[in-house]
Amino acid sequence: MSIALGTPLKNKAFRVLLLGSGELGKELTMELMKLGAEVIACDRYADAPAMQVAHRSHVFDMLDAKALEAIIRKEKPNLIVPEVEAIATDKLIQMEAEGFHVIPTAEATRLTMDR
């Protein structure tokens, strides 16, 4: 997969949607930003660590499939990175089937939830 990074906050920006914004997400956000990616941090509570450094953020229950789909369609990310287990994985699998890139895969995310 060849990746061309645009300028964050511009039309051709390479957008990464981070689902989960804890301390690990904050570290990932800072590294992605160093590479020139535009990062959108999401979590169920405001002011999560990654939200403090991301370009923008959304607060919603990621187990809510409709809310998850709405954010993905609104942001149109190049990559979706699940960082927590509490995600509507069936919706994530559907969005991946529609062409959105999930890393690791939506199926891997579903499997990690079923421990």
- pLDDT tens digits, 85-102: 889 999 999 999 999 999
| Contact indicator for 89, 109 with CB cutoff of 8 Å | yes
Architecture of domain 16-113: 3-Layer(aba) Sandwich (3.40)
CB 54 within 8 A of CB 41: yes
Summarised one tens digit per residue, pLDDT across range 36-56 is: 999 999 999 999 999 999 999
Domain edges within the chain: 16-113
The span from the first CA to the last CA of the chain, in angstroms, equals 31
Transcribe 14-36 into DSSP letters.
-EEEEE--SHHHHHHHHHHHHTT
Closest C-alpha among 103, 63, 115 to residue 86: 63
pTM of the model as a whole:
0.90
Q: Which of 24, 13, 22, 101 is nearest to 55 (CA)?
A: 13
The per-residue pLDDT for range 58-88, each reduced to its tens digit, is 999 999 999 999 999 999 999 999 998 889 9
